[in-house]
Amino acid sequence: MLVGASVLTGCGSKAVDVHESPSAGGSRSASALPPGQGGDRLVLRWRMSGGMGGVGGPWNVPDFSLYADGTAITAGAPGKGSQLKRYHLKQAVFQQLVADAKKAGLQRSQRIKVSGRIADAMVLTIWMGSARTDIEMPEQHHVPATALWKRLQPEQWPTDDQHSPPDIYHPVRLAVGALDTGEQSAPPDAVAWPLSPLGKGRQVRGRLCTVYSGADATRLRDLASKTVLGARFTSGGRLYTMQIRPLLPDETSCDALA
């Protein structure tokens, strides 16, 4: 189990198993489309955000993502050793679900609010193509969009709707978000960063983002597995804390987190 995913993610993020698959998308059923032929084309996604703890930002894996080959990927529950789970819908079931999403109005952007203002309101965001639906306090609304959302819970899907059992999604790309601590001197237990300088990363949501794949991703996993909780890293004369974010099939660069 890769403890480093929880070691390096920081507060409020979801820890995930980020071991690499032997192939780009992990093992697939023969009836599934390979990446580039629909397997990496996002169709529906939802994320819950807000609340007292401020959960759900881009540096967290979305709660649910559904792709054109019928594959759905869900974020694991918060905690050490949590994994990204993958489900495989039969095409007929997938097509019906997409048709129902269209009937629910998810193809057009909209915002559904509660009366009054709630500072710590939970907000459900559903994406379908370029359309975005935001629903404040979704449990309080009995509308087609929330009815559809309640069906996008793979753990409740009947076995007969799936062409193969659920398995684990093994990402091949990992994003690292580095945060400069501003400290002038490194503590004795600081770890020297062995990959490309963190300071050269792209600014994304308050962090310097760098994506690693291939051999670099393997080195990152090895580093994470040997690093203690709360570790800080030195790179280019600066001291950083960091967060690891596994990237999903449609997420190929830091642009996905911007």
Sign of CA dihedral 132, 135, 139, 142: negative
64 or 81: which leads in pLDDT: 64
| 1 in a structural domain | no
Q: What is the CATH number of the domain that holds 119?
A: 3.30.1560
Domain count of the fold of the chain: 2
97 or 117: which leads in pLDDT: 97
pLDDT band with cut points at 50, 70 and 90 for residue 229 = confident
pLDDT score at 12: 36
The Cα–Cα gap between 47 and 40 comes to: 18
- Does the pLDDT value for residue 1 go beyond 50? no
| 231 in a structural domain | yes
Do residues 189 and 230 both lie within one domain?
Answer: yes
For residues 78-85, give the mean pLDDT: 67
pLDDT score at 54: 59
Do residues 157 and 218 both lie within one domain?
Answer: no
- Does the pLDDT value for residue 204 go beyond 60? yes
Do residues 29 and 153 both lie within one domain?
Answer: yes
**Contact in structure between 82 and 15 (CB atoms under 8 Å):** yes
- State the burial class of residue 206 (Cβ atoms within 10 Å of its Cβ: 0-12, 13-18, 19+): exposed
| 7 in a structural domain | no
- Does the pLDDT value for residue 29 go beyond 50? no
Look at the chain and count its residues.
258
* Residue where one domain finishes, among candidates 152, 168, 184: 168
pTM (2 d.p.):
0.83
* Residue where one domain finishes, among candidates 150, 168, 186: 168
Contacts (Cβ under 8 Å, ≥6 apart) of 45: 62, 64, 65, 66, 126, 127
Q: Which domain holds residue 202?
A: 173-257
| 18 in a structural domain | no
213 or 17: which leads in pLDDT: 213
